[in-house]
Amino acid sequence: MTKTIKVALAGAGAFGIKHLDGIKNIDGVEVVSLISRDLDKTQEVASQYGIAHVTTHLEDSLALKEVDAVILCTPTQMHAEQSMACLKAGKHVQVEIPLADSLQGAQDVVAAAKSSGLVAMCGHTRRFNPSHQFVHKEITAGRFNIQQMDVQTYFFRRTNMNALGQARSWTDHLLWHHAAHTVDLFAYQCGSPIVKANAVQGPIHPTLGIALDMSIQLKAANGAICTLSLSFNNDGPLGTFFRYIGDTATYMARYDDLFNGKEEKIDVSTVDVSMNGIELQDREFFAAIREGREPNSSVASVLPCYQVLHDLELQLKN
């Protein structure tokens, strides 16, 4: 594919805007349709980014013949169904993490992608952040091996608010959303499947219906271990922080930035063409479409993560 890739983006909230900002830097790609639940707010965002078509219904955008691909930044509970709808309509699809909120949903998307022959990718952004790419290159070059990962995922979300402080129409989830980043990244960086996983959680919030605190332990087949602490009760600093403890070094990754164990910043500006992990994720999606290949973070490649999440969910229920 050498022509301009025309994209519909669903979800004009905090993460949708991050994708719009990233796509502005990618040649040969144009967002032609924007979908979100509030028409006025969606029109406002569309006007800022020069997007002509605005709708509150995904099917309206899928009906547009010029649309080649769809990026889904919609509520978690919609991801599997909407991904399959895009594939059925003949559109390549990138769905933000998580792929689904159940193992069955994830498996259904993988099956639909396989039968369609289209590019289907899930936004496991940590695979693309320059900080984690640097560590991955060290591992693949044989200069570093993970012995332990210590990860903290901390936010303050006792109410249904998004990253922009706006009210959400859905409830976020520590296990099926935030833990998914680390579960996938741990196995990806180790190059070894997860063979043991344990989880405990705190009290269920009376209004949100979810636990606001969780702790997860993982072990890979090669012996590496991971400890993950998650909380929606933590009032700063906010975000996800990764400590890689290895045989030759210690690295601390904070989004796109990387530090060594002495808190000295490591220059990762030459790791890839951008320092923006979301932009790099989108570049991979569009490159896979043009080249007719499976992308890094394809729905098939991330499926083992959702098997682990499913197993952890069963543990927590029991």
Residue pLDDT, tens place only, 154-172: 988 787 665 656 666 656 8
pLDDT tens string 44-67:
999 999 999 999 999 999 999 999
If one counts every other C-beta atom within 10 angstroms of the C-beta of residue 143, the result is 12
Q: How many CA atoms lie within 13 A of 248 on its CB side?
A: 8
pLDDT at 163: 60
Q: In Å, how far are 34, 165, 199, 240 from 129, measured between CA atoms?
A: 26, 24, 26, 12
The whole-chain average pLDDT of the chain stands at: 95
Q: Mean per-residue pLDDT for 98-123?
A: 98
If one counts every other C-beta atom within 10 angstroms of the C-beta of residue 57, the result is 11
Residue with tokens 């400590």: 243
3-state secondary structure of 265: strand
* Phi-psi sector, 223: left (phi>0), alpha (psi -120 to 50), beta: left
pTM of the full predicted structure?
0.94
pLDDT exceeds 90 at position 318: no
In this structure, are residues 308 and 175 in contact, taking their beta carbons and an 8 Å threshold? no
- The end-to-end CA distance of the chain, in Å, is 50
Based on its alpha-carbon atoms, the radius of gyration of the chain, rounded to whole angstroms, reads 19
pLDDT at 164: 59
Sequence-distant (6+) residues with CB within 8 A of 115 are none
Two structure tokens written together for 93: 């699809």
- Rounded CA-CA distance 5/32 in Å is 10
What burial letters (b/e) apply to 195-204, b meaning 16+ CB within 10 Å?
Answer: eebebebeee
If one counts every other C-beta atom within 10 angstroms of the C-beta of residue 169, the result is 11
Closest CA to 79 of 53, 110, 56, 55: 110
Confidence category of residue 208, pLDDT binned at 50, 70, 90: confident
3-state secondary structure of 16: helix
Q: Mean per-residue pLDDT for 192-209?
A: 95
Helices (H), the chain: 14-23, 39-49, 58-62, 79-88, 103-116, 130-140, 180-190, 277-291, 299-317
The fraction of the chain above a pLDDT of 70, given in percent, is 96
pLDDT tens string 212-240:
999 999 999 999 999 999 999 999 899 99
In this structure, are residues 234 and 156 in contact, taking their beta carbons and an 8 Å threshold? yes
* Phi-psi sector, 298: left (phi>0), alpha (psi -120 to 50), beta: beta
pLDDT at 228: 98
pLDDT exceeds 90 at position 74: yes
CA angle 91, 40, 97 (to 5 degrees): 40
pLDDT exceeds 90 at position 1: no
In this structure, are residues 178 and 230 in contact, taking their beta carbons and an 8 Å threshold? yes
